[in-house]
């Protein structure tokens, strides 16, 4: 199983993830933070909502929430996954006092008496269509290496109390929908058949996926699932962190980004276009090699949705033209798109060693690179910033940026830069370390 630094919030954006490709996390990063007291305010109960259509809204109060994966552990020598942090939204934006820590011991579904050691957030959508967003995670169930492995994907269903009191259920993939003996992995959510209900796509062996049509039951079963589908690649990726798949061709069905290597590695990508029978048709062209791909109206007016792929050092290929823009961000890039200044032209954030913002204009994506502020962290070596989300958390119609900046194995900081008429703020409105979630 892979470990990820990936977060998301409700993204009513065609940003995704990842998705984008998601940046892989390190097991060492989970173990090494020294024991410390939390600097976050005392936790308050999650406000009960009545259900909403907001993306990434686990408690249904109409405000998107934030998922924090790959937390720093609070004490040295801890090998198990410390869990997943949730920061709940409010009318004024993300509220760190309204938070929950999801752990394998409390929230994962065990196999017999064995509790998973790994607990990784993958994607967010409302699988049962009850108005409360649900979190899809991967785990590491026991497997002796003989025959077909168990399904490692689990579902945490949202509720008026959020996710903290929930026990996950195992995703049920019918035998007819599986192929080969590889782990089902890399779940991506989207309405791939255009019927209004979220579906899940999960890798099978080779260039095939298990396509599971929603809505899903509370026992983890899809409405239906047929034989595995052939897709133009071996790995699945979101086009923004933890976000559902986008409808790139605007035909009412979401499209699946498929790559020739796992997220976090350099690879070519291509779309499997959604339709009444699911993501069956290969898109018209492959995207240039890179680590992350996002979609939006990044070209001049009238050209429709355009792809942006980030390659080494944050070099961007816009509309399939290799290396069109150089951002100099360094490291493995992550991408997110959203309208930061509310001018109806999507802006692009590129994560890396030197994260940057490129503004959208009526003539397409600007070539002017604006460096983004990153927090100072102890230690040596260059810190790396990963885009966690680019979404409107405070309801002012300006997308806000959430960055995770990490240096080495012991220090990190989550910063929230609000969007506004002149772009992203120069100073964070919110800043904390992920170790605060596990500190006693």
From residue 401, alpha-carbon distances to 9, 53, 109, 374, 429 in Å are 11, 21, 33, 12, 10
What integer pLDDT is reported at residue 26 of this predicted model? 35
The DSSP element (H or E) to which 268 belongs, if any, is strand 267-273
The burial of 129, by beta-carbon neighbours within 10 Å (0-12 exposed, 13-18 middle, 19 or more buried), is given as: middle
What confidence score (pLDDT) does residue 79 get? 57
Does the pTM exceed 0.95?
no
pLDDT band at 80 (very low <50, low <70, confident <90, very high): confident
pLDDT of residue 263: 81
- Compute the CA torsion angle 240, 266, 248, 277 (nearest 10 deg): -100
Whole-angstrom distance, CA of residue 298 vs CA of residue 302: 11
For 170, how many CA atoms within 13 A lie in the half-sphere containing its CB? Answer: 16
**pLDDT band, very low/low/confident/very high, at 18 (cuts 50, 70, 90):** very low
Q: How is residue 48 annotated by DSSP?
A: P
Closest CA to 274 of 195, 332, 328: 195
Residue 437 pLDDT: 85
Q: What is the pLDDT of residues 104-153, one digit of tens each?
A: 999 999 999 999 999 999 999 999 999 999 999 999 999 998 889 999 99
- Per DSSP, 280 falls in state -
Q: pLDDT for 359-376, tens place per residue?
A: 999 988 999 999 999 999
- State the Cα torsion 76-23-148-153 to the nearest 10°: 80
Residue 282: phi and psi, rounded to 5, are -75, 140
Residue 264 has pLDDT above 90, yes or no: no
When pLDDT is averaged across residues 420-427 and rounded to a whole number, the result is 94
Contacts 24+ apart (CB under 8 A), 320-326: 320/285, 320/287, 320/288, 322/288, 323/288, 325/358, 325/365, 325/367, 326/369
Our CA dihedral for 169, 174, 179, 183, rounded to 10 degrees, sits at 10
pLDDT, position 302 = 60
Question: What band does 282 get if pLDDT is binned at 50, 70 and 90?
Answer: very high
Q: What is the mean pLDDT of the chain?
A: 88
How many Å apart are CA 359 and CA 340, to the nearest integer? 8
- Per residue in 307-332, pLDDT (tens digit) is 999 999 999 999 888 888 999 999 99
CB 349 within 8 A of CB 329: no
14, pLDDT greater than 80? no
Instruction: Answer yes or no: is pLDDT of 20 > 70.
Output: no
- The more confidently predicted of residues 80 and 372 is 372
**Cβ atoms within 10 A of the Cβ of 381, count?**
9
Q: What's residue 194's pLDDT? A: 97
Whether the predicted pLDDT of 249 surpasses 60: yes
Name the pLDDT band for 381 (thresholds 50, 70, 90).
confident
Q: Flag whether pLDDT at 72 surpasses 70.
A: yes
Q: What is the pLDDT of residue 2?
A: 44
Instruction: Give φ, ψ of 306 to 5 degrees.
Output: -125, 145
Q: Tell me, what's the pLDDT at 10?
A: 36
What pLDDT, on a 0 to 100 scale, did the predictor assign at position 379?
Answer: 84
């Amino acid at each position: 199983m892979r470990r990820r630094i990936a977060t998301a919030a409700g993204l009513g954006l065609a940003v995704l993830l990842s998705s984008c490709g998601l940046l892989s996390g390190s097991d060492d990063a989970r173990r090494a933070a020294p024991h410390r007291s939390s600097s976050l305010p005392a936790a308050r109960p999650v406000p009960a909502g009545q259900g909403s259509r907001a993306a990434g809204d686990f408690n249904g109060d109409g405000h998107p929430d934030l998922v924090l994966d790959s937390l720093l552990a609070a004490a040295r020598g801890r090998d198990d996954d410390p869990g997943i942090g949730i920061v709940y939204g409010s009318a004024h934006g993300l509220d760190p006092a309204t938070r929950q820590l999801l752990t394998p011991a409390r929230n994962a579904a065990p196999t017999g008496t064995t509790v998973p050691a790994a607990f990784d957030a993958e994607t967010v959508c409302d699988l049962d269509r009850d108005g409360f967003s649900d979190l899809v995670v991967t785990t590491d169930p026991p497997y002796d290496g003989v025959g077909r492995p168990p399904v490692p994907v689990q579902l945490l269903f949202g509720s008026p109390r959020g996710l903290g009191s929930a026990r996950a259920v195992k995703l049920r993939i019918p035998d007819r929908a599986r192929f080969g003996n590889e782990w089902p992995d890399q779940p991506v959510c989207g309405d791939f058949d255009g019927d209004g209900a979220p579906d899940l796509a999960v890798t099978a062996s080779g260039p095939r996926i298990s396509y599971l049509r929603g809505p899903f039951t509370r026992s983890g079963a899809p409405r239906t699932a047929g034989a595995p589908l052939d897709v133009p690649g071996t790995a699945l990726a979101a086009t923004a962190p933890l976000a559902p798949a986008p409808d790139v061709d605007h035909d009412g069905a979401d499209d699946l980004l498929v790559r020739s290597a796992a997220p976090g590695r350099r690879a070519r990508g291509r779309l499997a276009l959604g339709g009444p029978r699911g993501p069956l048709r290969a898109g018209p062209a492959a995207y240039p090699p890179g680590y992350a791909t996002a979609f939006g109206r990044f070209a001049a007016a009238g050209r429709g949705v355009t792809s942006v792929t980030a390659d080494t050092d944050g070099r961007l290929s816009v509309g399939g033209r290799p290396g069109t823009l150089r951002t100099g961000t360094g490291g493995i890039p992550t991408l997110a798109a959203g309208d930061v200044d509310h001018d109806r032209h999507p802006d692009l954030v590129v994560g890396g060693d030197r994260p940057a913002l490129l503004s959208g204009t009526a003539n397409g994506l600007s070539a002017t690179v604006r460096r983004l502020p990153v927090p100072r962290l102890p230690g040596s070596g260059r810190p790396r910033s990963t885009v966690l989300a680019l979404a409107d958390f405070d309801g002012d119609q300006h997308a806000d940026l959430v960055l995770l900046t990490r240096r080495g194995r012991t220090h990190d900081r989550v910063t929230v830069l609000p969007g506004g008429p002149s772009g992203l703020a120069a100073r964070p409105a919110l800043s904390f370390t992920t170790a605060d979630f596990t500190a006693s």
